[in-house]
Structure 1
Amino acid sequence: MARALRRRAPDGPFTPAHCTAILFAGVVAILFAGVGPFILGALQAGGRLDAEQLGQAGTVELVAMGLAAAFAAPLERRWGVRPLMAGCGLFTALCNGLITQLSGYGLVGACALVGLPCGVLIWMVTALIVRMERPERWAAFYLTIQTVAQLAVVTAAGVLARSATDVVPGVAILVVLSLAVAAVTPLAPAAFAPLGTPHAHASGTADASAASSVPALAGIAALAAQFCYNAATLGLWVYFSPLLREAGMATGLVVVATSAALAGQVVGGVLATAIAPRLSFVRALAVSLVVMIGVLGIFALAAPSTTLLMGAAILFGFLWMFAAPLLTPLTIAADPTRQAASLGSGASLLGCGAGPFAASLLVSDAHVRASAAMTAGFLALTLLLVALLAVFVLSPRARRTQVGA
């Protein structure tokens, strides 16, 4: 990882140490969202959460993350990166520790508290990425390492747990990693340059329009695309296992299919990291969305074969992580000041919370296929927004650039 950072760190305000510290903090911050189902499931099995509270805990944590990410910039301007990062690391460790002591709605509240500092740390990663020369590559790199980290923590927590209700190992890992975020704070940059200034990002130039912190209408549309995309993917993912079972896959193979889908995500993220800068991001994103919608149709079949279901699981996981980083250059192209891109983490996290909530209103214990239909709807909205931006914003802007050249 250090070698990759030395190779990829751009000429500009960030050193490899800066990138390593911020990426590490962002990966730790997103861990609870990925490891949460494992921990919350164990708490439910131990009788400390009921089914309704489990869903509420996951939702409030993601919503708190999104809101904190959306309002983190003023905190950074007031206190700077290092004090804010250290405080968030320590507060995250404290809130994670509370999880082992609480139950019921007290535990739901603790999950909301965890989301606040984590959202700020995730915003820091976004602030780093949008200031990079190749933001799509860094976004893909971040998504890939966070997926690998979640797999590693879930595996370690499962091995160390003494029973199906033992959450102490998982929580202890999160606490230690959160404290490590505070420990690496001296390696982080002191502050982020304002967007639109010559040193805000590697390829940036001064832009008077960047004085406003409110993105343009095109930037808001791109943020809406990020919201819809993440609502789609997370809305499906929380019901992925029961969806496979309802489609006819044997319970034992569902675990294999879920792991295979995660492996597909890693491969998709690695491929996006390698080739994203050479792609037409609009075309690649549009094709990925169309194929993902088609894959969802497999779950609507009367009796799809196990092989077809396994392939659908892997392909959806692959496309999910391959397409996700392409939303970053889309947002930057829609709003070149990068103000909208700096709010991308907030829009994405709010979508992550809204998708599962919307799906929960459509499914029942016996039938969860409606979650796939909901996902298809959100993906179609994402595709529509991408198409509108491509036709009415990106193409005219490209034509003006060519004329000006």
Structure 2
Amino acid sequence: MGNHLARQDHQPGNHAADGQDLPVPAAPQDRALSDALSAGRLAAALLLGAAGLLLFGAQPLLYAAYVHAGAIDAAGVGRLAATEIAMLSLGCAAGVAVLRRTPAWPVVVAGAALLAAGNLLSDSLPLFPARAVAGAGGGLLVALAAAAIARRRDVDRAAAAFLFLQAASQTALVQWVAWDAARAAAAPLQQALAFIGLLSVPLALLLPSRLGLPLAPAGDAAPRPSRAGHAALLVAGLFVGAVVGLWAYLSLWMESKALPASRIGTLLALSLAGQMAGALLAMVARRGRSSNRALAAGGGLLLAVAGLLWLGPAGPLGMALALLFGFAWMFATPALTGFLEEVDPARGSLPHAAAAQLLGAALIPTLVGALAQGLDGTMMAFATLVVASMMLLLLVRAASGRQRPGSSPS
């Protein structure tokens, strides 16, 4: 999810014919902050953000454990995911605002403390408030990665690197659970999330004293999203919300197919490995038309989901489909961010990408969980929304192309 949070901090219209960025003079404040953010400091911020988003890797296993323990029923999974992701979004927004005025280390300490408290106090607090506290803490840690990415000139590569770190850390967590089925219970998972959050606190020592997002130069108004930009934000929110829903219900759906816990752990690990591969390819791939990449990746994701639903998750084919699901998900995500720039060249919509995608991730699983019947029906509903997002992308691209010859879309 790191590329959602990135913002382009160079000006539009400075692209060479081959797609490479031309040098753009930076304001003194921006230049100083960009120079201060070395690769090591960027890595520290991205690791902190990955710790905050580790809950996404644990989500299928953790929510299944809650269902087995009777803490919630299957219909409540969507509401719980919405609560946690919404609080993550609010925590991220609050962290970004605070970082403009304070040093980075208080945000690190507060984020790790809330993340640990929400996970370790789950026996003392009701489930929904506990996960809300953990989500807010994770969001504060994600804000550090968001600010660091926005300070880099190579913002696309930094965002893809963040995706890779997320997938790698989540794969390690799932593999750790797969080695011992007893770890699939809620308590060990929550303890692991809390420990990793606290263990990340020393990384604050590697961050610059100030990590605030760059401000617009004096007298310049920040560009506002165009109509096409607003529509592209809807595409991104719809797609991400549907895919997050698929991921949140995946473990429960596989259990309904009578798969043993060890097999489910293997398939989740393969899917996370596919996410790493997709993020890595997005990081090194040559820049092309983002909408084409998003459509191709969306088609691959739909193929994976259709194959799992109709052919089942058993056997080598199930392993290949799980791998394809993760790969297509992480290859499509940065392409959707690029699509915002494609249809809104002034980049007015880019700063709102994180909010749109997290809002979709919070609302769509809740609505589908409340309205769909059965686990198969729930998975089909999410897949249908992925199709809808791809159709809307085509409509937005066509409308934007008709408006562009004389002027930028408005």
Same fold (TM over 0.5): yes
The two structures, once aligned, show a CA RMSD in angstroms of 3.5
Query: Aligned partners of 2:276 and 2:175: how far apart in 1?
Result: 16
Matched, 1:325 2:334: yes
Distance 1:235 1:41, change over 3 A: closer
Q: Which moved more, 1:230-239 or 1:334-343?
A: 334-343
Matched, 1:259 2:282: no
- Is structure 2 residue 91 aligned with structure 1 residue 68? yes
Name which of 28, 41, 47 aligns with 1:24: 47
Distance 1:379 1:185, change over 3 A: same
Query: Which residue is 1:172 aligned to?
Result: 191
% identical aligned pairs: 26
Counterpart amino acid of residue 47 in structure 2: F
Task: Mark the CA change 1:98 to 1:231 in structure 2 (over 3 Å): closer, same or farther.
Answer: same
Contact conserved, 1:67 with 1:350, CA < 8 A, in 2? no
**1:233 corresponds to 2:243:** yes
C-alpha offsets along residues 99-138 of structure 1, whole Å, 9 cap, x if unaligned?
2x336xx121110111113223223323333443333322
Task: Label 1:339 to 1:57 Cα distance change in 2 as closer, same or farther (>3 A).
Answer: same
2:26 corresponds to: none
Aligned residue number for residue 98 of structure 1: 121
How far apart are 1:61 and its partner, in Å?
0.6
1:120 aligns with 2:130: no
The CA deviation at 1:281 is 1.8
Mapped to 1, the partners of 2:35 and 2:201 lie a distance apart of 25
Residue 156 of structure 1: aligned partner: 176
Amino acid at match of 1:292: L
Range with greater deviation from structure 2 (108-117 or 175-184): 175-184
Unaligned stretches of 5+ residues in structure 2: 1-32
Once the two structures are superposed, the pairs formed by residues 4-403 of structure 1 within 5 Å of their partners are 12-51=35-74, 55-99=78-122, 101-102=123-124, 106-156=126-176, 159=179, 165=185, 167=187, 169-189=188-208, 190-197=210-217, 208-210=220-222, 215-241=225-251, 243=253, 251=260, 254-275=264-285, 277-299=286-308, 301=310, 308-335=317-344, 338=347, 340-364=349-373, 367-393=374-400
Give the drift of 1:23: 0.4
Unaligned runs of 5+ in 1: 1-9, 198-205
Indicate conservation of the 8 Å contact 1:89/1:182, yes or no: yes
Pairwise CA distance, 1:225:
2.0
Distance 2:306 2:195 in 1: 42
| CA distance in 2: counterparts of 1:303 and 1:97, whole angstroms | 36
Tell me the equivalent position of 1:3. Answer: none
Give the number of aligned pairs: 374
Do the aligned residues in 1 keep the contact of 2:238 with 2:386 (CA within 8 Å)? yes
Q: 1:133–1:287: structure 2 CA closer, same or farther, 3 Å change rule? A: same
* Change in CA separation of 1:80 and 1:215 when aligned onto 2, cut-off 3 Å: farther
8 A contact 1:68–1:346 mirrored in 2: no
* Alignment TM-score, normalising by the size of structure 2: 0.77
Tell me how far 1:270 sits from its aligned partner. 1.7
- The whole-number CA distance in structure 2 between the counterparts of 1:305 and 1:109 is 37
- Paired with 2:300 and 2:181, the residues of 1 have a C-alpha distance of 39
After TM superposition, the structure 1 stretch with the greater mean CA deviation from structure 2, 302-311 or 172-181, is 302-311
| Matched letter for residue 148 of structure 1 | A
8 Å contact kept, 1:235–1:358:
no
Shift of 1:55: 4.7
| CA–CA separation in structure 2 for the residues paired with 1:236 and 1:153 | 19
Change (3 A) 1:191 1:56: same
Moved more, 300-309 or 43-52: 300-309
> Is the Cα–Cα contact under 8 Å of residues 75 and 370 in structure 2 kept in the other structure?
no
Distance in 2 separating the partners of 1:303 and 1:56:
27
Question: Offset at 1:307?
Answer: 5.3
Structure 1 pair 384–188 and aligned structure 2 pair: CA distance change class (3 A)? farther
Matched-pair contact (CA < 8 Å) for 1:195–1:338:
no
- Residue 28 of structure 1 deviates from its aligned partner by 0.6
Q: TM-score, normalised to structure 1's length? A: 0.78
Work out whether residues 130 and 341 of structure 1, in 8 Å CA contact, stay in contact via their aligned partners in 2: no
